[in-house]
Chain A
Amino acid sequence: MWDAFVAVFARDVLQAWRRRADWLTTIFFFVIVVSLFPLGVGPEPALLKTMAPGIVWVAALLAAMLSLPRVFGTDFADGTLEQLVLTPQPLPFLVLAKVLAHWLLTGIPLAVIAPVLGLQFGLEGEPVVVLFVALLLGTPCLSLIGAVGAALTLGVRGGGVLIALLVLPLYIPVLIFGAGAVEATVAGTGAAGHLSLLAAGLLIAIVLIPWAVAAALRIALE
């Protein structure tokens, strides 16, 4: 079972490596969206500092969402997904491997870049660290929830926009606790509560969501 898990994971990472440009686009999208905000609201440092956690998180949400169609899209187009569903291995487990690959390719880069963007917005010291940790805990939730949307919209008319409609409302708790963690640190009340709620949400999502994704994939391939 682990062999299959590792094989699916390695395959996705390898494919992404061959198509680096696709994944880099997502990262640059993230950076560009964040950079647009100071141009839109003005360069006042105090304002930017209060808005920074929210801006970075909203941009992370959008970037994670944009990359979702690729999670199952190529495999669906070339028939690999059908093989995957037919293997005797438990499908939720294989889904988890694909989600993990997606997180490695989008979530981690976003979390790594975010502190730099945070510095641009005048966040320093502890809030930057919390931003990084919160993104590390939150982005796997985004990948998991997003996988449901990606599986449901496979081969559906207007898939890309539809994913946004399905997934963004479900992202809201992650946004609230993620941005809240950074804001709480800035305000000096400590981020422990927010971060533990994010972690709890992640655990629940890891247990439940692969089943939903597996069911959605079976429906899409019927």
Chain B
Amino acid sequence: MALNWFKYSSPQTFYPLAGRLIPVFAVLAAVLGAVGLYIGFFVAPTDFQQGEAYRIIFIHVPAAWMSMFIYLVMAGWAAFGLILNTRLSSMMATALAPTGALMTFLALWTGSLWGKPMWGTWWAWDARMTSELILLFLYIGFMALQASIDDPRRADKAGAILALVGAVNVPIIYFSVKWWNTLHQGSSISFGRSPSMASTMLLGMLVMALAYWMYCIAAALMRVRSIILERERNAQWVRDLKGAPA
């Protein structure tokens, strides 16, 4: 596989490969998701402090992890595309952005629903939630910039620069928001998980995180296939696809 790696770096050869990989990742996501939910709802015990409300973490924490991780991967692909001038890398970056934004939104949504019963408010200007919100803005900026440039090559490169500037800025933003938060809030809201987090809770969370991983890969591959078709629609190999299975 390692030897063949470069063979798959062109859209033409990657397109069918992605088509074969999507079902694999989709099935893995479904199976892991089912197992994770089973552990989360039926094996993991009730938390003695948070009651049943803590069960939100099984989808909240994976979404939050993915939201941050996808941004880094996206910036990585974008940088790759900018430096090596490989079309497929840039397409991967573009394909990841909406899924990353969706994960960011879900992390905020579930975080808010978790926060209401736990600390009595839908939204707190806590360092993590605020950073997550800013991350959503960064995703939206990236997508808006790419959407408003008609030439795909320019859109790729401009997006790459924005993603890189953003990636350098993310730690600075996180640090500054944390600093701001400690100065302004001597308050009692504590996000620390109970120290005695049962191992089945942790297991459920990790399995769900893996499921989210698989889902995000599958979704990004689906989107990259569409992007390939859109950009290469006039290429001969795309026209020859006609009879090929979806």
A and B touch in the complex (CB under 8 A): yes
Indicate whether B56 reaches chain A with its CB closer than 8 angstroms. no
Indicate whether B91 reaches chain A with its CB closer than 8 angstroms. no
Stretch at the interface among B60-68, B177-185, B217-225, B227-235: B177-185
Contacting pair B183 A184 (CB below 8 A): yes
What's the minimum C-beta distance from B131 to chain A, rounded to whole angstroms? 9
The listed residue (B148, B154, B173, B180) touching A157 by CB distance below 8 A is B148
What's the minimum C-beta distance from B166 to chain A, rounded to whole angstroms? 7
Indicate whether B157 reaches chain A with its CB closer than 8 angstroms. yes
Indicate whether A143 reaches chain B with its CB closer than 8 angstroms. no
Interface size on A, residues (CB 8 A): 29
Cβ–Cβ < 8 Å partners of B238 in chain A? none
Indicate whether B18 reaches chain A with its CB closer than 8 angstroms. no
Contacting pair B148 A156 (CB below 8 A): yes
Cβ–Cβ < 8 Å partners of B164 in chain A? 212
For window 162-198 of A, CB contacts with B under 8 Å fall at 162, 165-166, 168-170, 172-173, 176-177, 180, 183-184
Interface size on B, residues (CB 8 A): 30
Contacting pair A219 B148 (CB below 8 A): no
Cβ–Cβ < 8 Å partners of B158 in chain A? 152, 216, 219-220
Contacting pair A166 B141 (CB below 8 A): yes
Known: A148-B161, A216-B158. Contact between A172 and B144, CB under 8 A? no
C-alpha gap A157/B150 in the complex (Å): 9
Contacting pair B179 A165 (CB below 8 A): no
Contacting pair B176 A172 (CB below 8 A): yes
Most chain A C-beta atoms within 10 Å of own C-beta, residue among B82, B140, B161, B173: B161
Q: A152-B162, A169-B141 are in contact. List 20 more A-B contacts (CB 8 A).
A: A145-B165, A148-B165, A152-B145, A157-B148, A162-B144, A165-B140, A165-B144, A165-B145, A166-B144, A169-B134, A169-B166, A172-B177, A176-B180, A177-B176, A201-B172, A209-B165, A212-B165, A215-B82, A215-B157, A220-B158
A-B contact pairs, 7 of them (CB 8 A): A158-B148, A162-B145, A166-B162, A169-B137, A169-B173, A173-B175, A173-B176
